[in-house]
Chain A
Amino acid sequence: DARVTQTPRHKVTEMGQEVTMRCQPILGHNTVFWYRQTMMQGLELLAYFRNRAPLDDSGMPKDRFSAEMPDATLATLKIQPSEPRDSAVYFCASGYRGLTDTQYFGPGTRLTVL
């Protein structure tokens, strides 16, 4: 049963600290997405990659957020420096464009910035 995995599942940090969230997409999927979920904004797309190349990061605050795919099995989302307003659940999703066109979500990372 292939699944998207995310680490850590929970993260509590203090304002100003760097936060790194990791995602392992489903093997064989060529597209990876990062979303943020808050009560106020709902689910927002932050960025996504196809075949490890960034396609769109327009939803991401550029000054503090960065997303990368060092290899096909790992996607990272970094926040530096973190702020209390970054507190949210961050989801990674993967899919295979052109085949299933369905996004499968990981369990999320719940981030709390104090």
Chain B
Amino acid sequence: AQKVTQAQTEISVVEKEDVTLDCVYETRDTTYYLFWYKQPPSGELVFLIRRNSFDEQNEISGRYSWNFQKSTSSFNFTITASQVVDSAVYFCALSGYNTDKLIFGTGTRLQVFP
């Protein structure tokens, strides 16, 4: 069975702090995809990143970085120098290489205060 766990329900930080959102997954597939989506207060779901299981390189995009560690089944997301606009619910998700279904975590609500 596939499962995604986001143990942090809610995180509050002050602007300019760094924050890491945790994601732990379970799968029996040898090849799979991991995703992060952002859901701002306006409600839409915005795709942030997709990572293939065979590519363990970490990725950086501006203030965002992702740390994929197969050994611990984790795909953590770090926001550096957080801003108020980063306030949102962030979802981690998993899909098997040969399946279409996305398994979502329960989300982490990030609040960034000025």
B: residues with CB less than 8 A from A are 33, 35, 37, 42-47, 50, 91, 95, 100-102, 104, 106-107
Q: In the complex, which residues 43-57 of chain A have their Cβ closer than 8 Å to any Cβ of chain B?
A: 43, 45, 48, 50, 55-56
Q: B66 → chain A, closest Cβ, in Å?
A: 15
Contact pick for A43, options B42, B43, B91, B95, CB 8 Å: B91
Chain B residues within an 8 Å CB radius of A103: 47, 102
Known: A42-B104, A97-B100. A104 touches B47 (CB 8 A): yes
Known: A91-B45, A108-B43, A108-B44. A101 touches B104 (CB 8 A): no
Known: A43-B91, A45-B101. A101 touches B44 (CB 8 A): no
The CA of A104 and the CA of B102, in the complex, are separated in Å by 12
Q: How large is the interface on A (under 10, 10 to 19, 20 to 34, 35 or more residues)?
A: 20 to 34
Q: B81 → chain A, closest Cβ, in Å?
A: 26
Contact pick for B44, options A33, A48, A50, A105, CB 8 Å: A105
21 pairs, CB–CB < 8 Å, chain A vs chain B: A33-B100, A33-B102, A42-B106, A42-B107, A43-B91, A45-B102, A48-B100, A50-B100, A89-B43, A91-B45, A93-B45, A100-B50, A101-B50, A104-B47, A105-B44, A105-B45, A105-B47, A107-B43, A107-B44, A108-B44, A108-B45
